[in-house]
Structures are given as structure tokens and as C-alpha cells.
């Protein structure tokens, strides 16, 4: 049984990790495409229109890869996680179906119109298609996160005698107190990823002395979007999410922060430390006293429950992974704010385009927003364990008894091989698009 759970979780973790590489860019990039198209309508400068069309090509490649890698996860609900689907399908099936019927078709239909319909539609309708692509991509995030929010903090449900969950309040799915902060945090984090991608392409063009005017436009736009979104990811949305975890999943919060024992006079915030699960402590700890209590409750001496206050089987089942995921996310987020603040300062001083050190830093920072987004998801999902539906349905109760660990491992190896090929294809296509550059070079 333990092998089955491990391989089922490992396979889903791998497929959703690879899948989420793509929508985290499309959701943020769609907003920036709307911005470029809006600037073109307002100023009639062709480079803004070229920028919108250029990034929509990258959007389309990401969108296609996201669709291809998202389909296997739908099937896993009916194979590896058949019991979970049987028990909760009448609830999570509604939000997932709305994501497919409304968001996906809205996004895909108007993506095609944006790419091929500019001359027929005219510029105002072409701008509208960009707005609708943006709305479709963000609506997709809304419905997916509504599903996840219900699993994190179940609301509006009833459990029948046969163990099945049924929805008693449809409105509760979308007024779930977990949903809005998670959605805003997630979407702004996707803007951070997109801003770094846009800025890095700009830095690349400037450093190569190719498409320099576009490089300056992309760099300036990426830095401004990146600074604003990086700050908003930390506060207020990150702070709001953390307070939700304290309120609804206190055991997960203690594990995230590495609080093994409850402190009587306020909780310290750990900057560096390694969880020691044998001795139930943090090794080599560097911490600042009372700061965590103040950040959480605005009270320097407020007590925060440690892991010693919970039963062993109620704690997350991989505390080191949860702890490190959370701290990697927070640490990278802090670096993003610092780098984008520095870049914005030199942009304001009109020196950024000649600051090669910062340009190289921005260009090589591109993978790290992806890592921060993924570790953020790991934090949420590892924190919910050992439950699929928090407090109600354990992970061990949701797997399919008819799919062996050997079958799961075999298909996982197949996914790894196939996704490596897809990843290489994606890099080739995006690299070719960037190499070709935007069309216009005269404005």
C-alpha cells in the first residue's frame, strides 16, 4: 500500500510539475500582451503592436504545450486516483468542467483570432481578442484554484452514508475564504515569471546588439511589471495566504516555519536552518526572535502553535520537503524584489541599458521564477498532506486499488521520456521565435 501511494503521488507530482511550467507563463504573459496592444491603440507606434504579436507567438507555444501536458492529469483522476474521483467527483468535477468548457474554449478560440484575424477584425476588435485571451487564461486559473481551495478548506458540502461528498451550496465554492488570496497570489506570481521572461529577452537583445529598440522596450516593461508583481506577491497576497494557513492548517504552518516546539513568548522567524527529524529541532539555526508572531498577528508576544501541539498522524508527512519548499519560495521572492528594485533604480536614472552586469543577472535569473512558483505549489500541496481533502479524506483513501505500483512506475518512466522530448521541442520552438525577433525594426 505504501508503495502504491508513493508511486501514485510521484507520478502526479511529476506530470503536474512539468505541466505547470507552461500556464504560469501564459497567465502572466496574457496581461502583458494586453498592455502592449493597449499602448499601440493609444500611441499608434508600430513597435507596440509588433511586441504584442511577438509575445503571442510565445504564448501560443506555451498554451499548446500546456494542453498536451494537462490531458494526462485528467486521466490520472480516473486511474491512479479513482477512489478520490468517485467520492468527490460531484464537487470537483463541476469546477474542472467549467474550466474546460468556459476558460479553455474562450482562451483557445480568441487566441486563433488574435494570431490570424488582425486584418479582418481591425485594431479595436483585435485588442478585444487579446483581452478575451487574458480573461480566459485567468478564468482557467480561477476554476483550477477553486478546485484546489475546496481540497485545502472544504466548504458547502455534505457527506452521504456511502462516503461520497455532495455539494449543498454552489456559491460556497467561489466564496471559499481560501480561494481569493490563493488566486491573487498565484496570478501575480505568474506575472513575475512573465516579467522576467520579457525582461530577459530584452536584455538578450541589448547584449547582442540586435533588435535593440525592442530590447529596450521589453526590458523596461519587464522590469516595471516585475517590480510591482514581486512586491504584491510578498505583500499583501503572500501575507494573506500565510494567515489563512495559520487559521485553517496550523500544523502545516508550524512545519513550514520549522516550529518544532511552541514558544511561550512569541515565535521567532527562521532565516536558515535544517530540520532534524530525529531530535525534533532545527540544526544550524539562524533566527530573529518574535518576528513571526508580529508578522502573523501584529503582536510581538503572540504564541504560535508548534508541531508538538499536534498528533503525529496530523502533521504533514514530509516535513523537510515542506520546510525547504517554503523557504526556497520566500528566499527567491526576496531576491526578485531586490533585483527588480535595483534594475528599476537604474532605469529611472537612464543607465540600465548600459549596465551589463544587471542585464546578465536578469537574463540568467529566468529559471528561478519558475522554481519559486513550483516550490510555492509544493508548499501548498505538501502542507495539505496527509489529506486529499483537508481533515476529511486521507491520501491513502483516495488511490485506486486496481492500479499496481509497477504499472504506475512503468507509465511514469514513459512520461519522463516523452516529456523530455516535448521539453526539447519547446525550447527549440521558443528559441527559434526569439532568434527571429519581432517583425518591425524601424520604429
- Is residue 111 within 8 Å of 60, Cβ to Cβ? yes
pLDDT confidence of 442, banded at 50, 70, 90?
very low
pLDDT confidence of 36, banded at 50, 70, 90?
very high
The closest of 246, 290, 297, 288 to 265, measured between CA atoms, is 290
CB environment 151-166: b (16+ within 10 A), e (fewer)? bbbbbbbeeeeeeebe
Burial status of residue 243 (CB atoms within 10 A of its CB: 0-12, 13-18, 19 or more) = middle
pLDDT tens column, 186-225 = 999 999 999 999 999 999 999 999 999 999 999 999 999 9
pLDDT tens column, 263-322 = 878 899 999 999 999 999 999 999 999 999 999 999 999 999 999 999 999 999 999 999
pLDDT tens column, 325-374 = 999 999 999 999 999 999 999 999 999 999 999 999 999 999 999 999 99
pLDDT tens column, 238-248 = 999 999 999 99
Distance separating alpha carbons of residues 249 and 263, to the nearest angstrom: 18
pLDDT at 443: 38
pLDDT tens column, 407-433 = 999 999 999 999 999 999 999 999 999
Which residue has 516523452 as its cell numbers?
A: 418
pLDDT at 1 over 70: no
pLDDT tens column, 110-129 = 999 999 999 999 999 999 99
* pTM score: 0.96
Is beta strand 387-389 parallel, antiparallel or unpaired with respect to 281-288? unpaired
**Residue 367 CB contacts under 8 Å (≥ 6 apart), including other chains:** none
Distance separating alpha carbons of residues 350 and 410, to the nearest angstrom: 56
**Domain boundary assignment for the chain:** 2-169+183-262+305-436
Amino acid at each position: 500500500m505504501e508503495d502504491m501511494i508513493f508511486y501514485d503521488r510521484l507520478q502526479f507530482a511529476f506530470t503536474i510539475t512539468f505541466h505547470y511550467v507552461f500556464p504560469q507563463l501564459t497567465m502572466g504573459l496574457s496581461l502583458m500582451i494586453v498592455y502592449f496592444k493597449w499602448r499601440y491603440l493609444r500611441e499608434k507606434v508600430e513597435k507596440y503592436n509588433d511586441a504584442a504579436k511577438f509575445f503571442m507567438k510565445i504564448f501560443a507555444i506555451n498554451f499548446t504545450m500546456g494542453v498536451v501536458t494537462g490531458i494526462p492529469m485528467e486521466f490520472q483522476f480516473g486511474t491512479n486516483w479513482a477512489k478520490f474521483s468517485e467520492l468527490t467527483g460531484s464537487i470537483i468535477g463541476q469546477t474542472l468542467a467549467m474550466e474546460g468548457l468556459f476558460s479553455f474554449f474562450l482562451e483557445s478560440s480568441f487566441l486563433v483570432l488574435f494570431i490570424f484575424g488582425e486584418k479582418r477584425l481591425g485594431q479595436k476588435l483585435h485588442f478585444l481578442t487579446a483581452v478575451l485571451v487574458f480573461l480566459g487564461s485567468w478564468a482557467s486559473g480561477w476554476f483550477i484554484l477553486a478546485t484546489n481551495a475546496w481540497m485545502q478548506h472544504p466548504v458547502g458540502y455534505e457527506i452521504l452514508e456511502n462516503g461520497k461528498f455532495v455539494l449543498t451550496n454552489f456559491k460556497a465554492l467561489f466564496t471559499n475564504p481560501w480561494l481569493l488570496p490563493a488566486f491573487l497570489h498565484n496570478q501575480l506570481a505568474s506575472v513575475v515569471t512573465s516579467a522576467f521572461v520579457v525582461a530577459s529577452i530584452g536584455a538578450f537583445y541589448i547584449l547582442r546588439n540586435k533588435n535593440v529598440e525592442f530590447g529596450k522596450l521589453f526590458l523596461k516593461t519587464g522590469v516595471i511589471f516585475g517590480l510591482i508583481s514581486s512586491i504584491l506577491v510578498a505583500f499583501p497576497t503572500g501575507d494573506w495566504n500565510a494567515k489563512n494557513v495559520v487559521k485553517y492548517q496550523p500544523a502545516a504552518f508550524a512545519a513550514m516555519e520549522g516550529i518544532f516546539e511552541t514558544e511561550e513568548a512569541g515565535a521567532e522567524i527562521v532565516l536558515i536552518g535544517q530540520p532534524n527529524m530525529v531530535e525534533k529541532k532545527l540544526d544550524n539555526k539562524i533566527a530573529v526572535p518574535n518576528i513571526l508572531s508580529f508578522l502573523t498577528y501584529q503582536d510581538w508576544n503572540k504564541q504560535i502553535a508548534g508541531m508538538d501541539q499536534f498528533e503525529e498522524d496530523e502533521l504533514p508527512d514530509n516535513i523537510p520537503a515542506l520546510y525547504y519548499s517554503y523557504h526556497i519560495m520566500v528566499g527567491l521572492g526576496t531576491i526578485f524584489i531586490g533585483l527588480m528594485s535595483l534594475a528599476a533604480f537604474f532605469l529611472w536614472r537612464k543607465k540600465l541599458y548600459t549596465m551589463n552586469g544587471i542585464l546578465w543577472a536578469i537574463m540568467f535569473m529566468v529559471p528561478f521564477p519558475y522554481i519559486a512558483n513550483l516550490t510555492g505549489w509544493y508548499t501548498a500541496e505538501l502542507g495539505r498532506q496527509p489529506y486529499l481533502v483537508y481533515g476529511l479524506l486521507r491520501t491513502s483513501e483516495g488511490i485506486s486499488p486496481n492500479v499496481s505500483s509497477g504499472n504506475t512506475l512503468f507509465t511514469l518512466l514513459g512520461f519522463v521520456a516523452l516529456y523530455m522530448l516535448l521539453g526539447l521541442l519547446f525550447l527549440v520552438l521558443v528559441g527559434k521565435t526569439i532568434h527571429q525577433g519581432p517583425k518591425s525594426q524601424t520604429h
